[in-house]
Amino acid sequence: MSAYPGGMAAPTSYEEARAELAQIVQRLEAGTGSLEEALGLWERGEELAAYCAGWLEGALERISTTDSQTPDAEEPLD
């Protein structure tokens, strides 16, 4: 794993990032901990949300590219 902004490890997959983000949301919703801890969690959550959004954008781009290269079902195959 490589260093990630904020000094934390970069997620190794979309699923890992999403699971960590869900845990952060639960901790923030619980309202336990100090303000400093909450701010740190919020910042990490923002990083993970950006990672997930970037991953999903890349996946959509790949799907769009694949769809544009696939012949339409209505076109006869030679």
If the chain, 78 residues long, is cut into consecutive pieces of 10 residues, what is the mean pLDDT of each piece?
A: 60 95 96 95 96 94 83 61
Q: What is the pLDDT of residue 8?
A: 74
Residue 74 pLDDT: 62
Question: pLDDT > 70: what percent of the chain?
Answer: 79
Q: How far apart are CA 49 and CA 43, in angstroms?
A: 10
* 17 contacts 11 by C-beta, under 8 angstroms: yes
Amino acid in the structure at residue 20: E
At 64, the amino acid letter reads S
**Tokens in use for 76?**
């006869």
